[in-house]
Amino acid sequence: MEKKSEINGHAMAGSASTDRIVEKSAQKSFREKLLEFLRKNLLVILTVSGVLVGVGLGMMVRNMSLTKAQMTYFAFPGEMLLRMLKMIILPLVVCSLISGAASLDTRSLGKLGGIAVAYFLVTTLIASGIGVTLAFIIKPGVGAGALNTNNLGLESVSSNKETTDSFLDLARYSFIFLSILFWEPEGAAWFYATDYKMVAVGNDTNGTVLYQKVPIGTETDGMNILGLVLFAMVFGVALRKLGEEGEELIRFFNAFNEATMVLVSWIMWYIPIGIMFLVGSKIVEMEDVVLLVTSLGKYIFASILGHIIHGGIVLPLIYFGFTRKNPFSFLSGLITPFTTAFATCSSSATLPSMIKCVEENNGVDKRISRFILPIGATVNMDGAAIFQCIAAVFIAQLNNAELNAGQIFTILVTATASSVGAAGIPAGGIITIAIILEAIGLPTNDLSLMLAVDWIVDRTTTVVNVEGDALGAGILHHINQQEMKKQQHQEEELAEVRVEAVANAQAEEETSPLVTHQTKALEATPEAIESVL
């Protein structure tokens, strides 16, 4: 029986030459597919490899007993990555938000902003609930009453700031002066922080000097992202209100934004090298890891489990509920930002690569991503809310303090509120735990226990934070697409109605003067009709 083969869908008589041609074309297509896959995912492969190589490099160098100075030199390439990312954050946040706010009309801006804020608050509140629930189920602090900072060789960390002043500081640094950006750019990296001084106010009847604690303003290090976000949003809306006069400045910020994204694309190719040394240097700097893990293992386990539940189940379900699309196919295009978040422990440092991957790999509208993601990096801290709630309950259990329903409610609300504007930097969440502890009346001298293992927990915390931002951008992109389709459908129906009205008016010579007047109005001012409908 003669052997048959097919080339381009046509049956041909089988022969050795044709079979070789078919096999060669099949091999070529497989090779092309493999090369295309490697070309598209090269950065992802290099980034993941950088983490793995960094772990091995750190374990190898750890046995060399480096001095403190040598450790600093070893960590230098990783430090350069962090400095590159911090360098690009300021122009990226300002330009992307100004161009994004200016490209959306006020109605769309308000609607998208309202949906985004609702999404961020609801997901953060859910995350806080997960954290409190896991803390009461796992009980990480029960039986650890003898654990303190002394037997672990840790320095004590305390905070005497009033809860009211903590939230007032949040409002203060929400407003950043324009002169800081142009005349003193390093001021954009300052937080307003309240400190206290004792002021003599007189004497009592015994002649003893009476003192009052008076709050005074100080400045602390940290990128003031919240102030930049609010300024850029309001400035973008103001430019749009100017009309033609503001168009040139809007084009300037659009061009500035595109140039910034080019810089981001260059920096992303250095990420694998920087991550390798970041991870390796952190492993070299670790001291007695076994003691910390055995002492605080239940706390670490509860925090990471909460991140897995929220990031692997809750957030994907929310995304699927809105879009009816596979959330994991969306997340698969964001491996590079997730790896960057895991290595840098900074939502702000992950923002440049997140914007680029969301737009290029997942097709999210630039107006949506460059407007929502900088806001999300500032106000959406789902991962931080989880570990903050677990840490608060852990410290309560550590001090054998029974939490009542009012205190639990206070933890949920305070963790949700204090996560807004928290510094998107490594160990930034430790500061907000002090606010929660002060709110429920617990001592803050055990915060050093959290700081000791924060370098472990903060990695999964940052990954969950940026995942919530990315899925929020995907949800808003889907809602915006649906609104655009609905509007286009309405415009098509309106055009059909208009055509039918004109045809009927031409066919009927005798008609009501009212109908004739309405038909002429339809022909003359279609824009007015669209706005009314």
59: CATH = 1.10.3860
Please state, in angstroms and rounded to a whole number, the distance separating the CA atoms of residues 354 and 190: 24
Answer whether residue 311 shows pLDDT above 90: yes
Nearest Cα residue to 189 out of 164, 226, 154, 163: 226
Across 376-396, average pLDDT: 88
pLDDT score for 129: 94
At 186, the amino acid letter reads: E
pLDDT score for 426: 52
Answer whether residue 365 shows pLDDT above 80: yes
Give the DSSP H/E element, type plus range, for residue 220: strand 209-221
pLDDT band at 68 (very low <50, low <70, confident <90, very high): confident
User: 143 burial class (0-12, 13-18, 19+ CB within 10 angstroms)?
Assistant: exposed
13: β partners: 4
Tally the residues of the chain.
533
pLDDT score for 196: 65
pLDDT score for 527: 44
pLDDT band at 316 (very low <50, low <70, confident <90, very high): very high
Please state, in angstroms and rounded to a whole number, the distance separating the CA atoms of residues 405 and 482: 42
Please state, in angstroms and rounded to a whole number, the distance separating the CA atoms of residues 267 and 349: 11
Task: Report DSSP letters for 331-366, one per residue.
Answer: HGGGHHHHHHHHHH--HHHHHHHHHHHHHHHH---H
pTM, rounded to two decimals: 0.72
Please state, in angstroms and rounded to a whole number, the distance separating the CA atoms of residues 515 and 505: 8
Answer whether residue 458 shows pLDDT above 70: yes
Pick the more confident residue, 173 or 336: 336
Query: Encoding tokens for residue 215?
Result: 């709050």
Task: Report DSSP letters for 234-258, one per residue.
Answer: HHHHHHHHHGGGGHHHHHHHHHHHH
Answer whether residue 289 shows pLDDT above 70: no
CA distances for 224 relative to 26, 174, 214, 227, 348, angstroms: 56, 8, 25, 6, 11
Query: Encoding tokens for residue 348?
Result: 């702000």
pLDDT band at 81 (very low <50, low <70, confident <90, very high): confident
Across 94-113, average pLDDT: 80
pLDDT score for 177: 45
Provide the 8-state DSSP code for 151: T
pLDDT band at 151 (very low <50, low <70, confident <90, very high): very low
At 253, the amino acid letter reads: F
- Considering the domain boundaries, does residue 292 fall inside one? yes
pLDDT score for 19: 56
Torsion, Cα of 358, 360, 366, 368 (10° steps): -30
- Considering the domain boundaries, does residue 26 fall inside one? no
User: 279 burial class (0-12, 13-18, 19+ CB within 10 angstroms)?
Assistant: buried
Compute how many other C-beta atoms are within 10 angstroms of the C-beta atom of residue 159: 16
- Considering the domain boundaries, does residue 527 fall inside one? no
Please state, in angstroms and rounded to a whole number, the distance separating the CA atoms of residues 476 and 403: 38
- Considering the domain boundaries, does residue 504 fall inside one? no
Domain count, the chain: 1
Q: Are 471 and 335 spatial neighbours (Cβ–Cβ below 8 Å)?
A: no
Q: Are 78 and 275 spatial neighbours (Cβ–Cβ below 8 Å)?
A: yes
- Considering the domain boundaries, does residue 18 fall inside one? no
Please state, in angstroms and rounded to a whole number, the distance separating the CA atoms of residues 331 and 419: 24
- Considering the domain boundaries, does residue 217 fall inside one? yes
The boundaries of the domain holding residue 204 are 35-149+158-486
Across 510-516, average pLDDT: 47
Answer whether residue 445 shows pLDDT above 90: no
Across 62-71, average pLDDT: 85
- Considering the domain boundaries, does residue 41 fall inside one? yes
pLDDT band at 301 (very low <50, low <70, confident <90, very high): very high
Answer whether residue 178 shows pLDDT above 50: no
User: 281 burial class (0-12, 13-18, 19+ CB within 10 angstroms)?
Assistant: buried
Pick the more confident residue, 516 or 79: 79
pLDDT score for 465: 93
Please state, in angstroms and rounded to a whole number, the distance separating the CA atoms of residues 77 and 97: 30
pLDDT band at 88 (very low <50, low <70, confident <90, very high): confident
What count of Cα atoms within 13 Å lies in the side-chain half-sphere of residue 105?
3
Please state, in angstroms and rounded to a whole number, the distance separating the CA atoms of residues 142 and 38: 50
CA distances for 470 relative to 31, 180, 269, 337, 368, angstroms: 33, 30, 21, 10, 11
At 431, the amino acid letter reads: I
Share of the chain above pLDDT 90, in %: 20
Phi/psi-derived region of residue 104, left when phi > 0, alpha when psi is between -120 and 50, beta in every other case: beta
Answer whether residue 66 shows pLDDT above 60: yes
pLDDT digits (tens, 9 = 90+) for 205-248: 776 777 676 666 666 555 566 677 778 888 888 888 888 888 88
Mean pLDDT (the chain) is 76
pLDDT digits (tens, 9 = 90+) for 247-256: 889 899 989 8
Answer whether residue 27 shows pLDDT above 70: no
- Considering the domain boundaries, does residue 312 fall inside one? yes
Answer whether residue 111 shows pLDDT above 60: yes
Query: Encoding tokens for residue 253?
Result: 């910020």
Nearest Cα residue to 442 out of 396, 486, 393, 389: 396
